[in-house]
Amino acid sequence: MPDYKVAFLTMFPAETARLIIEPVPSGFQVTTEHTSAPEARKIEILKDADFVILFGERPTDAMLKACHKARMVQLLSAGFDAVNVGLLGEMGIPVANVGGVNRIAVAEHAVTLMLSVLRKLPQRIEAVKTGNWRADVSGLDTFELYNKQVGIVGLGKIGSWVAGILKGFQTHVVYHDIRDIPKKEEQELEVTRVPFEDLLRTSDIVTLHVPLDNTTRDMISTRELAMMKPTAVLVNTCRGPVVDEPALYQALKDRRIWAAGLDVLVKEPPDMSNPILTLDNAIITPHAAGSARDNMPRRGKFAFQNFQRLLSGQEPLSLVTPTAK
């Protein structure tokens, strides 16, 4: 019996791509192509694929329509907003995200942003490099994470891992989620559920861990920012459009909130004229929270195990569209 053909489109260089998919389980033959390849080349390999893996690819509808043989599309990221999952659903092709395989890296990055903002690490590092040793260290403009209230918006796989890390910092963690979280899980994580508005009003740090959809787009805008403390920090490691970027810029510029730590922006990469890049109270990283050498093999393993589940008649894990009939 011939191997199942897998088309793997990735933004990462060849070395990283090999780390993700090797060793390939028996029964699968993988063709890897970089996202910078011409669309015609990508369509060529997609039209023969039994399975598709996407990592950093934003496929056009023409590319998706070429997947007429595909049994499943597996994303190697948590977000699925870059793919027209509605079209794939109409085609009867199930789509799954990475199922929290990257949750450790994203959660660690979120906490790193909290610490970097509170301790003003980028500014301090830059001062040392430019010969301004302790020039602006007053002792009054940096803070401890200890004893702060952290509000987690979205207590899913990533948000719950953030809560687990924060236990070691002896913070007070509250959360808001549209799902019902079992009391046992709340007790283990030492978190308290509160209404969204209360979370915004009372938290020293607000960290966002929600998918991007019609219910979460611009969920943090002028109204929500006005509810936050003037000493509050906003951290976003999920998706840029979850935050109304012009509203955040104005709130930061006017010091209506103290600072922000962002791994995502509305447009990526941003135009260098984007005013948020000029702010000294915004720390911005290049949508790199989930990337870590440790989790690359786990992503590939998850994908092939999901393919094997489908082939054996089981429902794949972390579906974002219904299983094909």
| Average confidence score pLDDT of the chain | 94
Is there a single domain that holds both residue 181 and residue 266?
yes
What is the DSSP secondary structure assignment for residue 324, as one 8-state letter? P
3-state secondary structure of 180: coil
Is there a single domain that holds both residue 153 and residue 191?
yes
In a domain, 321, yes or no: no
Choose among 78, 73, 79: nearest CA to 93.
73
The mean per-residue pLDDT over the stretch 137-142 comes to 82
pLDDT band at 274 (very low <50, low <70, confident <90, very high): very high
3-state secondary structure of 6: strand
Share of the chain above pLDDT 90, in %: 87
Cβ atoms 150, 205 nearer than 8 A: yes
What count of Cα atoms within 13 Å lies in the side-chain half-sphere of residue 236?
26
Give the pLDDT of residue 324: 42
pLDDT digits (tens, 9 = 90+) for 200-249: 999 999 999 999 989 999 999 999 999 999 999 999 999 999 999 999 99
Is there a single domain that holds both residue 62 and residue 125?
no
Choose among 208, 227, 228: nearest CA to 218.
208
In a domain, 195, yes or no: yes
pLDDT band at 2 (very low <50, low <70, confident <90, very high): low
Q: Give the 3-state DSSP-derived string for 106-170, with helices as H, strands as E and coil as C.
A: HHHHHHHHHHHHHHCHHHHHHHHHCCCCCCCCCCCCCCCCCCCEEEEECCCHHHHHHHHHHHCCC
Is there a single domain that holds both residue 108 and residue 213?
yes
Site of tokens 């938290």 = 203
Show which residues are catalytic.
Answer: 239, 268, 287
Report how many domains make up the chain: 2
Given a cut of 70, whether residue 322 has pLDDT beyond it is no
In a domain, 198, yes or no: yes
Is there a single domain that holds both residue 78 and residue 107?
no
In a domain, 19, yes or no: yes
Cβ–Cβ contacts within 10 Å for residue 166, how many?
Answer: 25
In a domain, 12, yes or no: yes
pTM metric for this prediction: 0.90
Least confident of 46-50, 124-128, 308-312: 124-128
The enclosing domain of 262 has a CATH number of 3.40.50.720
Is there a single domain that holds both residue 199 and residue 73?
no
The mean per-residue pLDDT over the stretch 81-86 comes to 91
Looking at the DSSP bridge assignments, the partners of residue 220 are 243
Is there a single domain that holds both residue 79 and residue 89?
yes
Is there a single domain that holds both residue 238 and residue 119?
yes
Cβ–Cβ contacts within 10 Å for residue 165, how many?
Answer: 15
pLDDT digits (tens, 9 = 90+) for 97-120: 998 899 999 999 999 999 999 999
Is there a single domain that holds both residue 82 and residue 107?
no
d(CA 27, CA 3): 5
Ranges of H-type helices in 203-258:
222-227, 245-253
Is there a single domain that holds both residue 201 and residue 246?
yes
pLDDT band at 325 (very low <50, low <70, confident <90, very high): very low
Is there a single domain that holds both residue 109 and residue 245?
yes
Give the pLDDT of residue 147: 97
In a domain, 256, yes or no: yes
What is the DSSP secondary structure assignment for residue 319, as one 8-state letter? B
pLDDT digits (tens, 9 = 90+) for 84-94: 999 999 999 99
Cβ–Cβ contacts within 10 Å for residue 46, how many?
Answer: 26
What count of Cα atoms within 13 Å lies in the side-chain half-sphere of residue 103?
19
Range of the domain at 49: 4-101+292-311
Give the pLDDT of residue 99: 84
In a domain, 316, yes or no: no
